[in-house]
Amino acid sequence: MAGEAHRKRLRALLRLAGVRVAGDLTLVEQAFVHESFAKEHGGSSNERLEFLGDSVLGAIVAEWLFANFPEEPEGRLTLRKAAIVNDAQLADAARRIGFSDLVQLGAGMRNAGGANNTSILADAFEAFVAALFLRYGIDRARTFVLEGHVDRLDHDPEALLDAKTRLQHFAQEHLSATPSYREENRGTPQAPSFDSCVIVDGKTLGTGSGPSKKAAQQAAAEAALRTLLAAEPSSKRRKK
């Protein structure tokens, strides 16, 4: 999509953020320029906007969580934030809103299915948030993030992220560590059964069993999360 048709779609998108008079669209257009397009056609990509948008998005979501979950400790707020701002969730929102038709890609990247690529769409979402912030202010960015994304989610963390992903986010945020898993097969081909243990920062924090490696790992991750969250109020762990 190019030219006036593209700008018409951008104006419609801006109305979702409460922008009625769009004015100059240069910055908004840049939010959808992938590096592959910039390399082929010249100009700037959306990478710098994506960098800023990541922080603006995080601040908006953190503020919303702080206000809406006043009884929850830091650790649970961290899990909720991770569930909202992870690439998969942002890309789903971007697809629903129509970013796949707006993102500008190089020929090779487009032919490879880049318009539906999770990372590309998530980056464009963050870049668009930055463009809103810079061009129209924090209130318009907040309106877009909350009404276009946050309000549409089920805010039970378990509905948004599986246990392994939640544990990874928590461990990286609080321990600067990445979980690892060890499995043992105790079943038979007819009745498979696996035991798994998860190790974080050199310590075994959870064990679990299941009919597959994946199920056992999920059970172990759930156990590790219970261990970490139980200890969370009494210790502020190392952060990145």
Tens digits of residue pLDDT in 37-82: 999 999 999 999 999 999 999 999 999 999 999 998 888 888 888 8
> What are the residue numbers of the active site?
54, 126
The domains located in the chain, with CATH, are: 3-157 (1.10.1520.10), 162-234 (3.30.160.20)
CA angle 224, 228, 231 (to 5 degrees): 145
Q: pLDDT tens, 83-122? A: 888 887 898 899 999 999 999 999 988 888 889 888 899 9
**Residues in contact with 125: Cβ distance below 8 Å, sequence separation at least 6, in sequence order:** 53, 57, 90, 91, 93, 94, 99, 149
The model's pTM is: 0.70
CA distance 41 to 25: 18
Q: pLDDT tens, 214-228? A: 889 989 998 998 888
What pLDDT score does 79 carry?
A: 80
Nearest to 79 by CA among 212, 170, 206: 170
Judged on CB neighbours under 10 Å (0-12, 13-18, 19+), 113 is exposed
The arithmetic mean of pLDDT across residues 175-184, rounded, is: 90
The one-letter amino acid code at 58 reads G
